[in-house]
Amino acid sequence: MTYLVGVTALWAFSFSLIGVYLAGQVDSYFAVLMRVGLAALVFLPFLRPRLLSGKQRVTLMAIGAVQLGVMYLFFYQSFLLLSVPEVLLFTIFTPIYIALLDDLMFGRFTPFYLLTALLAVMGAAVIRYDGIDGSFWAGFLVVQGANICFALGQVGYRRFAAELPSSLPWHNVFGWFFLGALAVALPVFLVLGNAAALPSSGLQWGVLAWLGLAASAGGYFLWNRGATKVDAGTLAIMNNALIPAGLLVNLVIWNREADLTRLALGALIIAFSLWLNNWWQEHHGYKAA
């Protein structure tokens, strides 16, 4: 749980940094390539191929390709189709996908996880619903593609990690995750990227460096490790805890307008869903998968 809370604080800056400094200014495919490439460079020196079998290496690469590579392609494109508030609003469905996919992959059905995930979605909706008008279904579908990829990657990693020894030094194998994402990001940039829309200022390069080295390299490593230490309900809820955290960062640093009453109410609903989930665990003898 500590990992998830820490990464939520780290990622709270990402929406604003992308929306303010990159969206519509820097080629989205290049931004994805830079984030993934820098993250891969962080873990390559620690990579020990012999710790995993060939099949396990391919599996971890596939998880990275989906959770990070394909997800980022959807995510960055969504900023070209939608406003930042709309992107935030449409991410609220991720907890439902996690709850359903986790039960599917582990061969069970836990209705209570779906209930707490829906509560978290309600809390996020209270915060971000702004009465969107106009034609936004294409953008909605793009964001759902990102949500499903992110959810599938998290649940897939939980399932993958559950089959490996608990003593495995994950920093020596996690590089495969980023190499899988790089296998998606590099060819997509070469085919679809716009070399004329590269970063034009030191600030934009700095933002990309921070997103790659901190938010991606450190963030995804710790988030996925945290995902293996909690139940699916907590993981689903924490996916929406990012929304109030991100809004607070945006309000304090970039002085954007936010409805503090709705922010507080939505955060309370998300916190209640987390408390309810923990209460259920304590009374049903939960053990992490």
Cα pseudo-dihedral 157, 61, 42, 201, rounded to 10: -100
- Give yes or no for residue 275 having a pLDDT over 60: yes
- Give yes or no for residue 115 having a pLDDT over 70: yes
Task: Write down the pLDDT at residue 5.
Answer: 87
Closest CA to 106 of 168, 53, 156: 156
pLDDT confidence of 148, banded at 50, 70, 90?
A: very high
Round to whole Å and give the CA distance between 80 and 31. 13
Cα dist. 62→79, 141, 235 in Å?
25, 22, 21
- The residue range of the domain holding 68 is 2-284
- Give yes or no for residue 263 having a pLDDT over 80: no
- Give yes or no for residue 251 having a pLDDT over 90: no
Q: Is residue 144, in this structure, part of any structural domain at all? A: yes
Read off φ and ψ for residue 154, nearest 5 degrees.
-65, -45
Round to whole Å and give the CA distance between 180 and 69. 7
- Give yes or no for residue 278 having a pLDDT over 80: no
Task: Write down the pLDDT at residue 229.
Answer: 87
pLDDT confidence of 249, banded at 50, 70, 90?
A: confident
Q: Is residue 289, in this structure, part of any structural domain at all? A: no
Round to whole Å and give the CA distance between 186 and 184. 6
Round to whole Å and give the CA distance between 238 and 4. 7
Closest CA to 5 of 191, 245, 183, 218: 245
Task: Write down the pLDDT at residue 261.
Answer: 79
- Give yes or no for residue 135 having a pLDDT over 70: no
- Give yes or no for residue 288 having a pLDDT over 50: no
Task: Write down the pLDDT at residue 175.
Answer: 95
What is the per-residue pLDDT across 53-110, written as a single tens digit (0 to 9) for each? Answer: 999 999 999 999 999 999 999 988 887 877 666 677 677 778 878 877 877 877 777 7
In the chain, % of residues over pLDDT 90: 38
Structurally, the chain folds into a number of domains equal to 1
Let me know: does 171 contact 214? Beta carbons within 8 Å.
no
Single-letter code of the amino acid located at 187: P
Helix (H) or strand (E) holding 102: helix 94-105
What's the rounded mean pLDDT across residues 187-198?
92
Let me know: does 15 contact 243? Beta carbons within 8 Å.
no
Task: Write down the pLDDT at residue 206.
Answer: 96
